[in-house]
Amino acid sequence: MTLDVDQFRSPIGTLVVAARDERLCALEFAARWPRRQRVLARRFGSVVIRRTPDPAGAVTALRAYFSGDRDALARVAVDPGGTEFQRKVWAALVRIPPGRTLSYRELAATIGVPAAVRAVGAANGANPVALVIPCHRVIAADGTLGGYAGGLHRKRWLLAHEGAPAGSAA
């Protein structure tokens, strides 16, 4: 399996984007890229990395997003893989508009399994295409930021960039 890969230097750190068949299958902070590569190898088997400018148009979309087009990432085609449950959670995440947040509890209720708060949190954390599937828009029930694999400073920055009140549900 060949993955087209590029890097993008964003205001919150260097991001690595990977696509196959013009669909984004990974978007990861550079420091976490080796771990993501292992996950991709488990998913696809043997993986060959091919340096390609702007795979799936993701770099162009990231540039537009960080320049103020809050909807730019919604135009990127994705192939996140995952289980049926994870895909259900990720589909719900994509429906959270920029500038808004939901709690893990609200997200679980949105997908029809209100008791599955922890499972929703785990699916959120397993998201392979951060930003495009906006897991940063999910916060704790008490209005605090909760967790974020990229670090809470990045989550806070992203929410502020999108106009969401950081640390409280909108």
What 3-state class would DSSP assign to 17?
strand
Q: How many CB atoms lie within 10 A of CB 72?
A: 19
Q: Tell me whether residue 25 is one of the annotated catalytic residues.
A: no
Asked if 82 and 146 count as a contact pair (C-beta separation under 8 A), the reply is no
Catalytic pick from 16, 135, 138, 164?
A: 135
Residue 162, both tokens: 């999108």
Phi, psi (degrees; rounded to nearest 5) at 106: -65, -40
For residues 20 and 50, what is the distance between their CA atoms, to the nearest angstrom? 10
* Element holding 147 (H helix, E strand): none
- C-alpha 104/C-alpha 147 separation (Å) is 11
How would you class 167 by CB atoms within 10 Å of its CB: exposed for 0-12, middle for 13-18, buried for 19 or more? middle
Residues identified as active-site: 135
